[in-house]
Amino acid sequence: MQHISWFTVFVTAVWGLSFLFSIKRYLTRRMGGRVAVGPVARALDPGEEIVMRGMIGQGQRIEAMRYYREKTGAGLKEAKAYVERLARG
């Protein structure tokens, strides 16, 4: 059995990570800054939107973002944008 040094493992890991990041950077540029990661978020039901408007009206924006993410599977950025859009009217 051949002995592999820690240096070889480290260099291989760094090379692999840099390769993955370069692919991500390429895809991000290719898609105009938008890369879909994870499942696509679903839309809220009208009843769920009413619940969220109530939370926002009570000043519970963080809880509204948490609720939105739980119900739709969206990311934090999307949840924040949705809550801010609802808050504006």
Would you state the pLDDT for residue 61?
A: 95
Within the chain, strands assigned E span: none
| 89: nearest Cα among 66, 61, 41, 57 | 57
Would you state the pLDDT for residue 25?
A: 80
How far is residue 40's CA from residue 52's CA, in Å, rounded to a whole number? 20
Would you state the pLDDT for residue 37?
A: 52
pLDDT tens-digit profile, the chain (89 residues): 577 788 888 889 999 889 888 887 877 777 665 545 555 567 888 899 999 999 999 999 999 999 999 988 888 998 999 999 999 98
How far is residue 4's CA from residue 81's CA, in Å, rounded to a whole number? 49
